[in-house]
Structures are given as C-alpha cells and as structure tokens.
Amino acid sequence: MNKNINFILNKAARCHNLDEEEILCILEETENLKRLFSIADKVRKKYLGDEVHLRALIEFSNYCKQNCLYCGLRRDNRCLTRYRIEPQEIIEWTKKAKDWGYKTIVLQSGEDPYYNTDKMTKIISNIKSLDVALTLSVGEKTFEEYKAYRDAGADRYLLRIETTNETLYNRLDPEMSLKNRMQCIENIKKLGYEVGSGIIVGLPGQTLESIAKDIIYLKSIPVDMAGIGPFIYNPSTPIEDTKSSFFELSLKVMAVLRLLMPDINIPATTAMETLESNGRLIALQSGANVVMPNATETIYRKHYEIYPGKICLADSPTYCRVCIENKIKSINRYVSTGKGFRVKQNEMYCKAN
C-alpha cells in the first residue's frame, strides 16, 4: 500500500468522510487490502461492538413484473417455477421465525401485484402484533402504498439503488428509471422508515468510478442500512457473463461504507457466501454487523433463484438459525437480543475534513 492510501485510510477512520477521488483510490488498490479490512473492523467494533443482528429472510413470492436483465426472477425468465405464499401462511412462517429467536423479519419478493395494499397491510399488521421489527423488500411502489405499509407498522424498507449510473441503469433495468428509483428511496425516507439500500458490484459495464459515485450517493441519503452484493451471473438471463468473481471488490465497497458511515447496519450478504465459503464471516470481520439467514421453507428455496448457486438450498430454517449462531460464536461475536435498529452516533464523527 502506498503512503497516499495510508493517509486516506487514516483520514477515513478519523473523520468518516472522503471525497470521490479518495474513495476511488481505495477501490483501485489491489495490493494489501488487509489494512482496509482491519480498519473497517475496528470502526465497526468501536461504534457497534461485537453483537451481530440476525434478520430472518422470508422469500414469499418469486413472481416479478419487472425485467431486470441480471435477475433470475425477471418476468421473461421462463425457466423458473413460480410460487407465491398466501398471506396466512406468511404469517405462520413469521411466527415460527419468532419462535427460533429472530427479532427482525424481512419479507422479500419480486414485484408481485397479487399482494395488493389490502393483502400487504393485513400481513404487516399481523406480523407487527408479534412484537418483531419488520423490513419490507418488495420493490418500487407508489407513495400511497409505502404510506399504507408504514401506517400498518412496517419499520424498515430495503430498496437497493443497484447503480447510480444512468446509462448502466437504463441498459440493465428496462422499463424502470433511475429517477423513479431515487424518488422511491426519498419517499421511504420521508415516511420515517429506516432506509436500506445498496448496490450490485460487478455489473457488466460498471466502472470503479461509478461505484465511487454510488458510495457518495448512499452516504448522501444517508442510508440506515447498506447491502452490497457481488454480481453473480445467471445463465437464465440475457446479460453477458463477466466470468469474474466480485467477492473482493464487494468486500472493499462494504469496508469503505463502514468507514464512511460507522454506525449504520451493514449485512454480510448471502451473495458473498455464494462466491466464497465463509464469505459472511469474512464480511463480518471487514465491517459488517448483520446477517440475514434464510427462513423460507426448504421446498421453495430453490425457486427463489435470483442467481445460481445460492447457499443453504437444502437446509431447513431451524438448521440455518443454529448454524449461523455457531459460526458467529466461532469468530468471538455474539447474536444480539435486540431488534437492531440503527443507533445514530453522529456526535462521535469528527467535524473537520
């Protein structure tokens, strides 16, 4: 690592602020990344301690009206067996997740109009009566829909921006617009949700410059949670195969986000573990403080194929719960007993730049 990088890392660790050029400098660094990861780990420990928040991920429908070029759930993918879970069953799954000790439920799906506002609000209010925190990750909705979900009790919303590069966005997300995606994130924030967003790292045509801009965007919101996933090629999609692993680059992006936003929640993503065994543990030791174990019933898991090679396809939700806790303990961390809302600690940030 050259002197310049050391200077930038020290500044980030102290002030939690970098400009685009400095971020780019870190992203371009390939030699010795240990220092970046270890500083991000220290910042995580200083602000958030050793607890790890678990979020039970329930993938309740793989129908999607959108057609994102990179995603296996896209509307035009005919190779996928589609399923959707009825509201009452989603609530039953949630009860089980609560019994296994989860304090947060994440409901995720493709953009499936079957779940109209009535259905969604019924699901949300039933889940909220169980005294758990609830995150929704069901895509782009109108302000009124987001408001109805929020009024019914949803606490957090996860909507990745995917990329802030308009040309790339238009190419990869036909029929969608970056402007609308950004507006959705604004609306989510305005409604008082905890805002989760993030990007895919390694999209064909994506540059490090555009990733640096993405990072600046996430900080400008500012997000309460940032999920960074490496792009994984899905042969059932029309996108080109980049034939590379973006594990390390994703880890770098994640570590930089930790340096810039020391108190936010950052998940060690499933996609990271798909590319690297123990990828989630590596991420937890490079800035992450959250894991989202799969709480979807086993028979449906293989059909929620956003990308191939997803981990834990044959495992049961109970097995996943025990397995992840043991892994977390193996790196001297522990599972939180709280709901894991972001605790803002801005006063600890250095004012000077």
CB 225 within 8 A of CB 290: yes
Q: How far apart are CA 247 and CA 249, in angstroms?
A: 6
In the bound complex, what is the minimum distance in angstroms from residue 53's beta carbon to ligand SAH? Answer: 19
Binds 108, which of ligand SAH, ligand SF4, none (CB < 5 to 8 A, cut-off by type)? ligand SAH
In the bound complex, what is the minimum distance in angstroms from residue 184's beta carbon to ligand SAH? Answer: 9
Among 38, 66, 236, 245, binds ligand SF4 (CB under 6 A): 66
Segment near ligand SAH (CB under 6 A), from 12-20, 116-124, 159-167, 260-268?
A: 159-167
Q: Please report whether residue 136 would count as binding ligand SF4 according to CB under 6 A.
A: no
In the bound complex, what is the minimum distance in angstroms from residue 307's beta carbon to ligand SAH? Answer: 4
- When the beta carbons of 170 and 345 are compared against ligand SAH, the nearer one is 170
Binds 23, which of ligand SF4, ligand SAH, none (CB < 5 to 8 A, cut-off by type)? none
Q: Please report whether residue 172 would count as binding ligand SF4 according to CB under 6 A.
A: no
Binds 137, which of ligand SF4, ligand SAH, none (CB < 5 to 8 A, cut-off by type)? ligand SAH
Q: How far apart are CA 149 and CA 206, in angstroms?
A: 33
Three-state SS string over the chain comes to: CCHHHHHHHHHHHHHCCCCHHHHHHHHHCCCCCHHHHHHHHHHHHHHHCCEEEEEEEEEEECCCCCCCCCCCCCCCCCCCCCCECCHHHHHHHHHHHHHCCCCEEEEEECCCCCCCHHHHHHHHHHHHCCCCEEEEECCCCCHHHHHHHHHHCCCEEECCCECCCHHHHHHHCCCCCHHHHHHHHHHHHHCCCEEEEEEEECCCCCCHHHHHHHHHHHHHCCCCEEEEEECCCCCCCCCCCCCCCCHHHHHHHHHHHHHHCCCCECEECHHHHHHCCCHHHHHHCCCCCEECCECCCHHHHCCCCCCCCCCCCCCCHHHHHHHHHHHHHHCCCEECCCCCCCCCCHHHCCCCC
Query: Total residues at the site for ligand SAH (CB under 6 A)?
Result: 18
In the bound complex, what is the minimum distance in angstroms from residue 103's beta carbon to ligand SF4? Answer: 26
Among 29, 111, 173, 263, binds ligand SAH (CB under 6 A): 111
Q: Please report whether residue 279 would count as binding ligand SAH according to CB under 6 A.
A: no
In the bound complex, what is the minimum distance in angstroms from residue 111's beta carbon to ligand SAH? Answer: 5
Q: Please report whether residue 251 would count as binding ligand SAH according to CB under 6 A.
A: no
Q: How far apart are CA 229 and CA 328, in angstroms?
A: 20
Q: Please report whether residue 266 would count as binding ligand SAH according to CB under 6 A.
A: no
Q: Taking CB under 6 A as the criterion, which residues in 284-343 touch ligand SAH?
A: 306-307
Q: Please report whether residue 265 would count as binding ligand SAH according to CB under 6 A.
A: no
Q: Taking CB under 6 A as the criterion, which residues in 84-113 touch ligand SF4?
A: 110-111
Q: Please report whether residue 93 would count as binding ligand SAH according to CB under 6 A.
A: no
Footprint of ligand SAH on this chain (CB under 6 A)?
Answer: 70-71, 108, 110-111, 137, 139, 159-160, 162, 200, 229, 231-232, 234, 271, 306-307
Footprint of ligand SF4 on this chain (CB under 6 A)?
Answer: 64, 66, 68, 71, 73-74, 110-111, 139
